[in-house]
């Protein structure tokens, strides 16, 4: 019997405990120590991936937590936090593709020693190794070759977003920039906040890849706004590798993400006049102001490059569940949030398990209605675009 684990593998570190910035701009509270506490105690996660461990500043903080006994090494990779949550060490690395476009890729490795060696090697390509998501001054095929020598899991990040992603700005097909060897070395594909399995499975070459969806958190509150359920035997890096490879019965059993309409890059948007294209009608010029400052939305980009008019899901593809984070619930302020957490322990409990009557008793019937609507997929939503998130709205029903 496989265990089911909540997993968010894309969380950024804002600042080191020594007070030096790792990723700008993010929250000063986004330290490794605070991330682990928030993810375990408030969010209720079982697996987290920190994607700035290429930075020696972050590695130093992780080593400190190991020395304090808060993190314990796992023989088959990863680190257990306070006996119940797995930390995976990752790096988000920027590459430049042949057309000049920039893309982000996640690289995960088993332990501190491997990440330190990888960081030391990448220093010759990255100008400031202490900072997050720096340009490696190489194309993705070269990064894949290098990372493969460090027992890495390689996952293209937020692949459809209009900024720094493969399909968004670099290529119409991965096979245009990667050979068969490199394509076979990809462990999974990260969908990003403005897409889902129905959208991604309109692209034929993705049918062989496991999909994951993660928060890309730049603040503590954003941790677990998107996440996955991994079905695997135990908490370890090796088990995650088997899960992404769908080996030995392990698999991603569910993706929980924002309804794509809530994503801030779902629709095409004009940054000059704020026109939002909700019909997929725009070309290269804004129909409202005539300018060329259009930010191509994920919805429209996928329509451009899709092989199929409707998704063709492979048999193994898990369900994609539209999960609306508690921060999107209208009227749920800090006081009600604190009351809910005091009563029900973690956000995962509130989002997945607590009954309507129990929610209503603590936060009132209106908040309970919204949470249950979000849980069941019945929420009314206005779509986002151009860097502005969509929102959940009240209905007369």
pTM confidence score: 0.90
Query: Chain-centre distance of CA 33, in angstroms?
Result: 20
Q: Which residues contact 132 (CB under 8 A, 6 or more apart)?
A: 12, 13, 22, 23, 51, 52, 55, 92
pLDDT level of residue 396 (50, 70, 90 thresholds): very low
What 3-state class would DSSP assign to 150? coil
d(CA 87, CA 84): 10
Domain presence at residue 33? yes
Q: Does residue 133 form part of some domain?
A: yes
SS3 61: helix
Q: Which of 39-53, 72-86, 281-295, 363-377 has the lowest mean pLDDT?
A: 281-295
Q: What percent of the chain has pLDDT over 90?
A: 73
State the pLDDT at residue 391: 64
Q: Which residue has the higher pLDDT, 377 or 215?
A: 215
How many domains does the structure of the chain reveal?
Answer: 1
Spatial CA neighbour of 215 closest among 268, 157, 164, 170: 157
Residue 142 lies in a domain: yes
Query: CB neighbours of 335 closer than 8 A, spacing ≥ 6?
Result: none
Q: Is residue 165 part of a domain?
A: yes
Number of C-beta neighbours around residue 83 at 10 A: 8
Domain contains 129: yes
Over residues 147-174, mean pLDDT? 96
Domain extent for 162: 3-257
Report the mean per-residue pLDDT for the chain: 91
Residue 170, domain CATH: 3.20.20.140
**Residue 222 counted as domain residue:** yes
Q: Do residues 314 and 293 make contact, with C-beta atoms less than 8 angstroms apart?
A: no
Q: Is residue 380 part of a domain?
A: no
The answer to whether residue 308 sits within a structural domain is no
What would the mean pLDDT of 350-366 be, rounded to a whole number? Answer: 93
* Section 146-156 average pLDDT: 97
Cα 144 to its chain centre, rounded Å, is 20
Q: Could you give the dihedral angle defined by the CA atoms of residues 30, 8, 92 and 101, in that order, rounded to the nearest 10 degrees?
A: -120
Residues 244-289: tens digit of each pLDDT: 999 999 999 999 988 777 667 777 888 788 787 767 665 778 888 8
């Amino acid at each position: 019997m496989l265990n089911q684990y909540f997993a968010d593998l894309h969380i950024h570190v804002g600042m080191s405990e020594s007070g030096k910035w790792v990723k700008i701009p993010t929250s000063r509270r986004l330290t490794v120590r605070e991330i682990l506490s928030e993810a375990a105690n408030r969010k209720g996660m079982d697996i987290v991936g920190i994607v700035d461990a290429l930075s020696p500043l972050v590695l130093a903080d992780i080593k400190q937590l190991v020395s304090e006994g808060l993190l314990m090494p796992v023989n088959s990779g990863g680190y257990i936090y306070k006996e119940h949550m797995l930390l995976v060490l990752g790096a988000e690395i920027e590459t430049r593709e042949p057309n000049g476009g920039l893309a982000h890729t996640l690289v995960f490795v088993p332990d501190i020693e491997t990440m330190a060696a990888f960081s030391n090697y990448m220093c010759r390509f990255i100008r400031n190794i202490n900072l997050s998501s720096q340009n490696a001054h190489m194309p993705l095929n070269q990064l894949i070759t290098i990372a493969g020598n460090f027992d890495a899991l390689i996952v293209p990040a937020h692949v459809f977003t209009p900024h720094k992603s493969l399909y968004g700005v670099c290529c119409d097909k991965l096979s245009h920039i990667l050979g068969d060897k490199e394509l076979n070395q990809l462990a999974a594909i990260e969908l990003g906040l403005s897409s889902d399995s129905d959208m991604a499975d309109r692209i034929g070459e993705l049918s062989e890849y496991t999909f994951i969806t993660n928060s890309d958190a730049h603040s503590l509150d954003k941790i677990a706004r998107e996440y996955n359920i991994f079905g695997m035997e135990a908490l370890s890096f090796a088990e995650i590798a088997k899960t992404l490879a769908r080996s030995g019965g392990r698999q991603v059993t569910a993706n929980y993400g924002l309804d794509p309409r809530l994503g801030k890059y779902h629709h095409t948007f004009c940054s000059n006049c704020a026109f939002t294209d909700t019909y997929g009608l725009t070309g290269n010029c804004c129909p409202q102001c005539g300018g060329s400052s259009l930010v191509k939305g994920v919805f429209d980009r996928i329509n451009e490059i899709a092989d199929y008019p409707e998704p063709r899901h492979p048999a193994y593809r898990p369900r994609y569940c539209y999960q609306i984070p508690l921060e999107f619930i209208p009227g749920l302020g800090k006081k009600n949030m604190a009351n809910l957490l005091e009563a029900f322990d973690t956000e995962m409990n509130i989002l997945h398990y607590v009954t309507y009557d129990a929610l209503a008793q603590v936060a009132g019937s209106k908040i309970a209605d919204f949470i249950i609507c979000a849980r069941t997929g019945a929420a009314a939503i206005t779509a986002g675009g151009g860097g502005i998130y969509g929102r959940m709205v009240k209905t007369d029903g």
